[in-house]
Amino acid sequence: MNVVRLDRSRYGEASAVLARAFQDDPAWSWLFPDPDRRRDVMPWLFRLGFEMSTADVWGAEEPIVGAARWLPPGRPAVRVAPTLRALALTPLRLGATTMPFLAYGRAVEVMRAQAAAGPHWYLAGIGVEPSRQREGIGGELLRPGLRAARQAGVPAVLLTNTERNISFYRRHGFEVVLEGATPEDGPHAWAMVAHP
């Protein structure tokens, strides 16, 4: 399995894969109950996240069948110009879902801070093409961040809204440290940490 760091020219492919991987995710289903609306807006939102973030984006194989976004400690979380564009465009694209979307993002960040207050590598998203799941691709996409976290002597952190994913992450050294709603009336989430 060839996992490489993606340049920006590949973000569209990676966004499409993540959108398909998260189509039935509880958080996205909560935000966009209509599956057609989810299918329409999620590739755009994942691409927006890639553009805004300073995280490292990793992809598996050619064509891309999986992607992961790892944010290292000490790096600003977002790029200013793309974030300002996103703040202007998101309400136009999401309409009434804008406030729940922002509330979900804030709740995730609060839970992340509670799970690991100090420096850590953060897995800000990982997904594999549905037809290629259970082939070890997800585990390979975890490797760059886990390796970097071990080398730096800091934990790796992630949040999942899908309970069945917990056993997968446990096999790769993560343990649940916190769980709760994201936000209070939103989907349940588990914060997981892998210590170096």
Domain ranges for the chain: 3-194
What lies within 8 Å, CB to CB, of 16 at 6+ separation is: 43
What string of pLDDT tens digits covers the 196 residues of the chain?
799 999 999 999 999 999 999 999 999 999 999 999 999 999 999 999 888 888 899 999 889 999 999 999 987 776 777 677 777 888 888 999 999 999 999 999 999 999 998 999 999 999 999 999 999 999 999 999 999 999 999 999 999 999 999 999 999 999 999 999 999 999 999 999 999 9
State residue 93's pLDDT score.
86
Task: Tell me the pTM.
Answer: 0.92
CA distance 77 to 56: 11
Q: Which fold has domain 3-194?
A: Aminopeptidase (3.40.630)
